[in-house]
Amino acid sequence: MDTRTVLKKELIKELRLEDIGIDDIDDAAPLFGEGLGLDSLDAVELTVLLQRRFGVIIEDIDAARNAFASVETLVRYIETRKDAMPGAGPGLSQ
Amino acid sequence: MTFPVEQADCCRIVRSLALPVARVSVMSAELLQPRELPEERRRIAAEAVAGFFGLDDEEAFALAKPATYEQWAEHICRGSVGQGRTNIVFCTSGSSGPPVSHSFTAQELTEEAQSLAPFFADTKRVVSVMPVHHIFGFAFAVMLPRILGIEVVDRHPLPSEDFFRALRPGDLILAFPVFWKSVLDMCSGQRPPLLPPEIRGVTSGAPCPPEVIEGLLAARPDGAQPLCAGMTEIYGATEFGAVGIRRECRGIYSLLPHWRRVALPGPEGGEEWAIRREHGKPLPLPDHLAWRDERHFEPRQRKDKAVQVAGINVFPEQVAEVLRGHPLVADCVVRLMRQEEGSRLKAFVVPRRDTIAATRLMRELRRLTAGLEPAARPKSIRFGKRLPRTATGKAADWDINDGDAENA
């Protein structure tokens, strides 16, 4: 399963988007506010999801702002970060 | 006396108060300066700042002029706040119903910090993810560091690399339960560890699930140090500030030294316990407490039926009223999720018969609750033909993953 599909499945499951199916999620739609309707409390859960499921830790709030814009930006962020942290389990390089 | 508020702290508070209307975009910590804000948003930010610092009309008027946050802080500190002559006003969130303000004198806030200080005497640095205009953020990230003469670092409440990198061995982290749970979830079993050694934590704003605290303090399976060397829970409320403290998970709370227990006349000739400061009037507590003795207690349920989501008091019944306002909702009930389900509100809705499809009703209910603040929005909405009841007819809980509930 590709990152996009896994991510959508995880978003639905972990963030309890119970009225939405994978096909309903528009790759370009905003995750927060309009679109998927996530809120600031979901941002913390989304950060945990990325680390637990994809081994990617969000760098900082600015990175989160860009990455959390849509499924498309989030997939790009996951793939870029995974490449930057090979085998990265989520420890931090000091 | 540790007042007046210093200009650097004042600037942190001003920025924190302005955040809801001045952030560059959703999820951003970057703020537009007052002079960059449209007039209406600048007015809202200025009112929040003037209200917090109890500014008089003349002082508040000056904030309406386009400026920077630094200039606002300088202006505030030149006036009554800088001379310690004003009260600081903390507001409840207003998540359901109008926000309520609670005013504290400089002396009360100083006494509270002095009361907390001995418990944290060996702290070298505080790292806080609590907003500094929140009563506990102010106590632990403004007043306490000042009394102890230690550094404080503010971080956005997101468990990001930036947050973990900011930590040093021995730091005291001030956070709220949802954040602690995220730290536990992210740190469990990770190598190298995300947390440096000897981290201690403070949690406040809402009851922290004991499983989270025990997880943070537990020895790691590979023999490594626990994630945290200690956790302190603070019991309190916006109208009181910190009231009690405990360092043993599931233990009893000790009343902080600046409070005394007093008896008030209760119903049917009995007595009710309240608390008061040394020279203050008795204040009834928002919760039912089980007192072990004069200075030790266990909190029970809240008197006003509020529950806490991410440190914010929300009122499930008021949220249910909002849902019942939809013409196609016959009845509903709103509750806090069980620990294993999450930490948000959940709703069970009984639609009127022969109405619209469940997905459409769900969308409309989501739209209806979008006007509530995030903590008050039900994260899970389930439909059924009747509200969940036990065999004896009492209101029952429901499982948000239970497929048995009949969809509309």
Question: CATH number, domain at B349?
Answer: 3.30.300.30
Residues B168 and B237 in one domain: yes
Size of interface A-B (CB pairs under 8 A): 103
Residues B287 and B218 in one domain: yes
Cis preceding linkage at B4, omega within 30: yes
B10 falls within a domain: yes
A31 falls within a domain: yes
CB contact under 8 A, B359 and A19: yes
State which residues form the domain around B332.
315-383
What pLDDT does residue B400 have?
85
Give the angle subtended at the CA of A80 by the CAs of A74 and A81, to the nearest 5°.
Answer: 90
Residue ending a domain, among B306, B334, B352, is: B306
A19 falls within a domain: yes
Residues B132 and B12 in one domain: no
A90 falls within a domain: no
CB-based contact B63:B52 (threshold 8 Å): no
CB contact under 8 A, B186 and A57: yes
A59 falls within a domain: yes
Supply the angle between the helices B7-22 and B69-78 in degrees, to the nearest 10.
130
Residue B368 C-alpha from the chain's centroid: 24
What pLDDT does residue A94 have?
41
Which of B158, B161, B382 comes nearest A43 by C-beta?
Answer: B158
How far is residue B269 from each of residues B264, B265, B266, B279, B290, measured CA to CA in Å? 10, 7, 6, 26, 19
Residues B301 and B326 in one domain: no
CATH number, domain with residue A13 = 1.10.1200.10
d(CA B148, CA B2): 11
Indicate the number of domains in chain B: 3
B168 falls within a domain: yes
CATH number, domain with residue B249 = 3.40.50.12780
B270 falls within a domain: yes
Which residues from chain B sit within 8 angstroms of residue A16, using beta carbons? Answer: 342, 344, 379-380, 400
Which residues from chain B sit within 8 angstroms of residue A45, using beta carbons? Answer: 182
- SS3 string, B211-222, reads HHHHHHHCCCCC
B397 falls within a domain: no
Residues B74 and B130 in one domain: no
Residues B125 and B252 in one domain: yes
What pLDDT does residue B267 have?
74
B258 falls within a domain: yes
Residues B7 and B125 in one domain: no
Which of A18, A40, A91 comes nearest B191 by C-beta?
Answer: A91
Indicate the number of domains in chain A: 1
B191 Cβ under 8 Å from any chain A Cβ: yes
- In terms of DSSP H, where are the helices of B204-344? 210-217, 316-324
Mutation target among A10, A14, A15, A19 for the B interface, most CBs of B within 10 A: A19
What pLDDT does residue A90 have?
45
d(CA B244, CA B234): 6
Searching chain A, which residue's CA lies closest to the CA of residue B381?
Answer: A18
Per-residue pLDDT in tens (0 to 9) along chain B, 408 residues: 456 688 899 999 999 999 888 887 766 778 899 999 999 999 999 999 999 998 888 888 888 888 999 999 999 988 877 777 778 999 876 544 567 889 999 889 999 999 999 999 999 999 999 999 999 999 999 999 999 999 999 999 999 999 999 999 999 999 998 899 999 999 987 777 899 999 999 999 888 889 999 999 998 777 788 999 999 999 998 889 999 999 999 999 999 999 999 998 877 777 788 999 988 899 988 888 999 999 999 998 777 778 888 777 888 998 999 999 998 998 999 999 987 888 899 999 999 866 667 778 888 898 888 888 888 999 899 988 888 887 666 678 888 876 544 443
Which of A44, A64, A89 comes nearest B182 by C-beta?
Answer: A44
A8 falls within a domain: yes
CB-based contact B274:B282 (threshold 8 Å): yes
Give the count of alpha carbons within 13 A of B213, CB side only.
23
For all residues of chain A together, what is the average pLDDT?
84
Searching chain B, which residue's CA lies closest to the CA of residue A64?
Answer: B27
A42 falls within a domain: yes
B32 falls within a domain: yes
A49 falls within a domain: yes
State which residues form the domain around A26.
3-84
What pLDDT does residue B56 have?
85
B376 falls within a domain: yes
Which of B362, B377, B400 comes nearest A39 by C-beta?
Answer: B377
CB contact under 8 A, B363 and A40: no
Q: Beta strands of B109-237 (E only): which ranges?
A: 125-128, 151-154, 172-175, 200-203, 230-237
Residues B32 and B125 in one domain: no
Phi/psi class of residue B311: alpha, beta or left (left: φ > 0; alpha: ψ in -120 to 50)? Answer: left
CB contact under 8 A, B161 and A61: no
Residues B45 and B112 in one domain: no
Q: Which helix or strand (DSSP H or E) is residue B241 part of?
A: strand B241-246
Cis preceding linkage at B169, omega within 30: no
Structure tokens at A24: 């309903």
B400 falls within a domain: no
Which residues from chain A sit within 8 angstroms of residue B26, using beta carbons? Answer: 32-33, 65
Residues B123 and B17 in one domain: no
Amino acid at B68: T
d(CA B61, CA B66): 11
How far is residue B96 from each of residues A89, B102, B384, measured CA to CA in Å? 41, 17, 25
Residues B100 and B248 in one domain: yes
Residues B76 and B222 in one domain: no
N residues, chain A: 94
